[in-house]
Structure 1
Amino acid sequence: MLVMRPATAADRPAVREMISARCAWMEERGMPSWRPRLDDLVSQCDSPYGDVWVLEQDSSQIIGRTTLQEQGPPWGWTDQEKAEPALYMTTSVTDPAFRHLRPGTLMAWWAVDRAAELGLNWARRDCMFAELAKYYLAQGFDLVREADFKGHRLFMMAREAERLDLTELFHR
């Protein structure tokens, strides 16, 4: 059974191992990886804001992590969009050994449901890679626009918050 729960300092070793596995997978394919941010992402496990979440399988294996915040970045969104209640999903990383479980999709769907549970209108995210944007489209997110930030093309994505029946997938 899967559960999404707030990360804690005790999760640091497992999160480091999971992110390191993803880094190796990306590097083997010639892709930029999370390795330069590894220590930072691991240190966020005990964020005082409680905004870092882990996806855990069978109370023993962390197979994903993400950050959920009600304040998105200052770039890529209009002033009107920034004023709308939204949950912003960022720094999502999954263990490639568990690809068959679709942990990235499950975390995204959970975030959409969580946004609705909190009374927010949107789940939002962005990415810098067209292939990742296609993956997010397959999760039900829409491409709102492409934006430029410091010379990088960003794909600004959003999905309307809605309650999803995830009871078959997640233990509450």
Structure 2
Amino acid sequence: MFAMRPATADDTPAVEKVILARSCWLEERGLPSWRENATELARQAENPDGDVWVLAEDDGRVIGCTTVQEQTPPWGWTEEELNEPAHYLYSTVTDPAFRVMKPGTVMALWAVNRAARHGRRWVRRGCHFPGLVRYYETQGFELVHEVQRTRTTVYLMGRRAERVTDLEERFRALSGPGRNSAEAPDRWSSSSLSHMLGRYRRTC
């Protein structure tokens, strides 16, 4: 069965494999990828603060990762919003071989449930593509702000934290028969490339 757990340095090769698989998927569709930075991005799994999480099977196979931070980035949000307890999601990436099972949605719901258990009011995230806005809306997130940042528009989104009663069933379904299907409508099952690359550049 799949579950979310904190990433460790040992997960770095598996996380890099997921990033490269998603990069191939993006490139086949004429979309930008983060192939050149895959190794550096995967090393975020070594973060001793433990804010990187992996979606992994009992046998250790990793099919997704995301970063959960305790603080909302200060730009783009009002002072009142910044004072609200919230978790912020960065750099969510999934293995495209599992996209029909929507692991990105499972990770998002896990984050919503975890935020509620930790007494947070919101789960927030941002992206640079309207397609990702539509995708995140299918996960229950709402567009809160559109912010012009240098030469790009950043879409800031949020969803109220709440308990997700069928979360265990969703994790179990990831091991179902459709896991390796090549046909799926989930075009935006990875998080914003721009956010991920931006976070990498800020750490350089």
TM range, smaller chain? over 0.9
Cross-structure match for 2:171: 170
What is residue 34 of structure 1 aligned with on the other side? 34
Consecutive aligned runs of 4 or more in structure 1 exceeding 4 Å deviation: none
Q: 1:85–1:121: 8 Å Cα contact kept in structure 2?
A: yes
Q: Name the amino acid aligned to 1:167.
A: E
Secondary structure of 1:167's aligned partner: helix
Structure 1 segments unaligned to the other structure (5+ residues): none
CA-to-aligned-CA distance 1:96-143 (integer Å, 9 cap, x gap): 011122011000000000100110000000000000110000000011
Shift of 1:2: 1.2
Q: Deviations over 1:23-51 (max 9, x none)?
A: 11111111111224322321111211100
Q: Larger strand proportion, structure 1 or 2?
A: 1
Q: Is the 8 A contact 1:141 1:159 kept in 2?
A: yes
Alignment of 1:85 with 2:85, yes or no, is yes
Deviation (angstroms), 1:78 = 1.2
Aligned to 2:153: 153
**Residue ranges of structure 2 left out of the alignment (5+ in a row):** 173-204
**TM-score of the aligned structures, taking structure 1 as reference length:** 0.95
Q: Is the 8 A contact 1:2 1:56 kept in 2?
A: yes
TM-score normalised per structure 2: 0.80
Moved more, 75-84 or 130-139: 75-84
How do 1:111-130 and structure 2 match up within 5 A? 111-130=111-130
Identity %: 54
Q: How does 1:1-172 map to 2 (within 5 A)?
A: 1-165=1-165, 166-170=167-171
- How many pairs does the alignment contain? 171
Say which SS state the counterpart of residue 155 (structure 1) adopts: strand
